[in-house]
Amino acid sequence: MPDDLAMGAYTRSQLRAYISQNPYLLSGAVCDIDAYVLEQNLETVSKTVRYPADWWQALKERWFSRAAKARWPVKWQVIEVKLERRARYPEADIVPTTLGQPYVFVRGGEYRHTED
């Protein structure tokens, strides 16, 4: 392996490449590369977000008076957003005396829609 690839011994040992011919390609092949990377869960944050259900509800929220809102209440869309913060260690060795430089990322998932 070239030294300019930021890849630890663990990731390098788990690296697999699969080459197969695709019958739909005239003179081509398909190459799949898979590898496992050590990952650490840092935190999970859940937050509920509320916003008007459509443009008419947003217009009512912004421009209607309190009396008009009491008579014609604004319909809200409620979403629960779950964000996961994780660190990946692609430079980690098999015996993790040191995990190398972490690459931290935030991923969103599990959205739950409800109407209020």
Say what the pLDDT of residue 1 is. Answer: 44
Residue 110 belongs to a domain: yes
Angstrom distances, CA of residue 98 to CA of 11, 24, 69, 90: 14, 46, 59, 12
Cα separation, 84 vs 116, in Å, equals 26
22 in a structural domain: no
Q: What are phi and psi of 57, to 5 degrees?
A: -65, -35
Question: What's the pLDDT score for residue 71?
Answer: 96
Average pLDDT over the chain reads 76
Structural domain includes residue 99: yes
What is the pLDDT, as a whole number, of residue 69? Answer: 95
Give residue-wise pLDDT tens across range 21-75: 766 766 667 777 777 777 788 888 888 999 999 999 999 999 999 999 999 999 9
Indicate the DSSP class of residue 95. Answer: S
User: Which residues span the domain enclosing 51?
Assistant: 38-115
H-helix or E-strand containing 38?
Answer: strand 38-52
pTM, entire model: 0.43
**Has residue 9 been placed in a domain?**
no
Q: How many domains does the chain have?
A: 1
